[in-house]
Structure 1
Amino acid sequence: MSLIRTVLGDLDPAELGVTDAHDHLFLRSALLPGQELDDPAAAAAELAVFRAAGGQALVQWTPYGLGRRAAALPGLSRAGGVHLVAATGLHQAAHYGAAALPDDLAALFVAELTEGIQGADPAPSSSPAVAPRAGLIKVAGGYHGLDAHARRTMAAAAEAHHATGAPIAVHHELGTAARDVLDLLCGRLGVAPRSLLLGHLNRFPDPRLHRELAESGAYLVFDGPSRANHATDWRLLDTLAALAGDGHGERLLLGGDTTTAGARAAAGGPGVPFLLTGLRPRLLRELGPDQTDLILRQNPSRAFAVEWP
Structure 2
Amino acid sequence: MSPAVRTVLGDLDPAELGVCDAHDHLFFASRLLPGQELDDVPAAAAELAAFRAAGGGAVVQWTPHGLNRRAAELPALSAAAGVHLVAATGLHRAAHYDELPDPERWAELFTAELTEGIGPDGPRAGLIKVAGGFHGLDGHARRTMAAAAAAHHATGAPIGIHHELGSAADQVLELLCGRLGVPPHRVLLGHLNRFPDPAMHRELARSGAFLAFDGPSRANAATDWRLLGTLVDLVEAGHAGQLLLGGDTTTAAARSAADGPGMPFLLTGLRPRLAAALGEEAVELILRRNPARAFGVDWH
* Shared fold (TM-score, shorter chain, > 0.5): yes
Could you tell me which residue of structure 2 aligns to residue 132 of structure 1?
A: 123
1:83-98 matches, cutoff 5 A: 83-96=84-97, 98=98
Deviations, residues 255-292 of structure 1 (Å, cap 9, x unaligned): 00000001111111111111011111111111110000
Structure 2 residues not aligned, in runs of 5+? none
Could you tell me which residue of structure 1 aligns to residue 279 of structure 2?
A: 288
Q: Please, what is the CA RMSD of the aligned residues?
A: 1.0
Deviations, residues 136-157 of structure 1 (Å, cap 9, x unaligned): 1000000110110000000000
Aligned with residue 159 of structure 1, among 138, 144, 150: 150
Residue 150 (1) aligns with residue 150 (2): no
Q: TM-score, normalization: structure 1?
A: 0.95
Structure 1 residues not aligned, in runs of 5+? 122-130
Could you tell me which residue of structure 2 aligns to residue 126 of structure 1?
A: none
Cα offset, 1:101, TM superposition: 2.0
CA contact (8 A) 1:22 1:255 kept: yes
- One-letter code of the match for 1:102? D
Cα offset, 1:180, TM superposition: 0.7
Cα offset, 1:229, TM superposition: 4.5
Could you tell me which residue of structure 2 aligns to residue 224 of structure 1?
A: 215
**How far apart in 2 are the matches of 1:300 and 1:5?**
12
Query: Secondary structure of the equivalent of 1:4?
Result: strand
CA contact (8 A) 2:275 2:283 kept: yes
Could you tell me which residue of structure 2 aligns to residue 213 of structure 1?
A: 204
**How far apart in 2 are the matches of 1:280 and 1:229?**
18
Cα offset, 1:100, TM superposition: 3.5
**How far apart in 2 are the matches of 1:234 and 1:108?**
39
Q: TM-score, normalization: structure 2?
A: 0.98
Residue 99 (1) aligns with residue 99 (2): yes
1:228-307 matches, cutoff 5 A: 229-307=220-298
**How far apart in 2 are the matches of 1:63 and 1:234?**
29
Percent identity over paired residues: 74
Cα offset, 1:102, TM superposition: 3.1
CA contact (8 A) 1:88 1:113 kept: yes
- One-letter code of the match for 1:58? V
Instruction: Give the paired residue count.
Output: 298
